[in-house]
Amino acid sequence: MMKRLSAELIGTFWLVFGGCGSALLAAAFPTVGIGFTGVAFAFGLTVLTMAYTVGPISGGHFNPAVSLGLAIAGRFAWADIIGYWIAQIVGGAVAAAVVFYIASNAPGFHAGAFAANGYDTLSPGGYSMLACLVIEIVLTMMFLIVILGATSKTAPAGFAPIAIGLALFVAHLIGIPVSNASLNPARSIASAIFATTGAWSQIWLFIVGPLAGGALGGLIWRGLLSPGESPGNIGQVK
Helix H or strand E segment including 102:
helix 81-103
pLDDT score recorded for residue 27:
63
pLDDT in tens, 60-79: 999 999 999 999 999 999 99
Q: Where are the domains of the chain?
A: 2-225
* Cβ atoms of residues 160 and 168 within 8 Å: no
Per DSSP, the three-state class of 80 is: helix
**46 Cβ contact partners less than 8 Å away, ≥ 6 residues apart:** 14, 15, 17, 18, 19
Question: Which among 90, 43, 65 has a CA at the least distance from the CA of 207?
Answer: 65
Per the model's pLDDT, the better-predicted residue between 236 and 144 turns out to be: 144
Per-residue pLDDT tens digits for 193-204 = 999 898 999 999
The per-residue pLDDT for range 145-166, each reduced to its tens digit, is 999 999 988 888 889 999 999 9
Considering the four listed CATH numbers 3.40.50.2300, 1.20.1080.10, 3.40.140.10, 3.40.1390.10, the one that applies to the domain covering 2-225 is 1.20.1080.10
Cα of 29 vs its chain's centroid, Å: 24
Q: Please tell me the least confidently modeled range out of 85-89, 114-118, 185-189.
A: 114-118
The pLDDT value recorded for residue 45 is 96
The pLDDT assigned to 32 comes to 64
Which range (40-44, 65-69, 108-112, 157-161) has the least confidence? 108-112
pLDDT band for position 226 (cuts 50, 70, 90): confident
Handedness of CA 196, 201, 205, 210 (dihedral sign): positive
**What one-letter code names the amino acid at 228?**
G
**Residue 231 pLDDT grade (very low, low, confident, very high; cuts 50, 70, 90):** very low
DSSP conformation class of 197: S
Residue 212, number of CB atoms within 10 A of its CB: 17
Q: How many residues would you count in the chain?
A: 238
